Homo-oligomer: A and B are copies of this chain.
Amino acid sequence: MNETKQLQQFKELLKRNKYKNTPERRLLFETMLRQSSPCSIQELIDLVKNSMNETTVYRNLETFEEIGAVTRVYSGWRYKLELSDMFRGHHHHMTCRNCGDVISFDEQPSLLAELHKIEQKHGFTMQSHSLELEGLCSNCC
């Protein structure tokens, strides 16, 4: 199945960064893989609270960020977390202000072209970018 492939990739990423492949890390990763939209830290803590300590969640999320396995997504109050492009493909988000739904959409090549223009104009080397839209989804408007 597909999940196994990503888990495999994750294990290699850990190894490459000299981090251990613990059950807690696998579970946290697999839990994140199952989410269809970004989660807050508290949501993640709740999702795995029977299998690991809160402190461990914090520490592992930090590690995951360090090795590039997870990305912060900013919508609403506190930031949320999701697996990085490496596991989910590059995409952006639209958050509906009415129902709170987060919809993902793919990168448009023409949008990327615009970003490169900006990059050149300012002598900036872009390593990543994030685009967040807010408004009303097709159900709510």
Contacts and interface: CB of A to CB of B under 8 A. Distances in A.
Contact of A72 (B74, B114, B125): B74
How many copies the complex holds: the figure is 2
A49 interface: no
A119 B92 CA distance: 12
Given A108-B117, A110-B114, A128 B135 contact: yes
Main secondary structure of the interface of A (DSSP, over half): mixed
Interface residues of A, number: 35
A94 interface: yes
Interface of A: 72, 74, 78-79, 94, 97, 103, 105, 108, 110-111, 114-115, 117-119, 121-138, 141
